[in-house]
Amino acid sequence: MDSDDLRDFYAESAHRWKVANREFQKRTHGWHFTLAPEAHEWAQAHVASDRWHSSGTTLIELADAAGMILKPEPGRIAAAYSHRDSRTETTTEEGFGFWPTAAEALVVHAGHAIPLAALEPPATRGDGTAPLALLQLVVDSFATVSVFSDPPGARRG
């Protein structure tokens, strides 16, 4: 990147941050996330399917697409950030974000990340308890939220 490109990137980043902050402040509905009443049945069906060994991140995205996570407004939930061990640089936790459909730049980050061990599928099929517990962990991680913005050029889905 040359200096003009870098200057433009930082200017666009600052603009998107202002837009995201404004979009966040305009929303007065609160950031409440819960599980759908039928989430237990969905988890049961998930463990009976061939998607049993999907990663926890994939499980969350599948559950969200199926409407099992009730959000404060239309949008999608997906992995958004991670934490790394300071010595090894190995990822230790994954955090989720919420991309509201009616937002230009806003991404709402969950207040805390989920340990990678909790995102791994259990070695054996169960009764749906493990997927349901993971869904609850993600919902709980949104008990507090932070405003972030998509970087310039990010694709929203």
Name the residue range of residue 76's domain: 3-149
Q: Is 81 helix (H, G, I), strand (E, B) or coil?
A: strand
4-43 pLDDT tens trace: 888 888 898 899 999 999 999 999 998 999 999 999 999 8
DSSP annotation of 78 reads: E
Distance CA 112, CA 80 (A): 11
Predicted confidence (pLDDT) per residue in 112-156, tens digit: 999 998 888 765 566 678 889 999 999 999 999 999 987 766 655
Report residue 41 as tokens: 């049945």
**Any domain includes 155:** no
Q: Tell me the pTM.
A: 0.88
Domain membership flag for residue 143: yes
| In a domain? residue 145 | yes
Residue range 83-108, pLDDT digits in tens:
998 899 999 999 999 999 999 999 99
156, part of any domain: no
User: Would residue 120 count as lying in a domain?
Assistant: yes
- The DSSP result for 37-69, as a single string, is TTHHHHHHHHHHSTTTT--HHHHHHHHHHTT-E
Task: Tell how far CA 8 is from the center of its chain.
Answer: 28
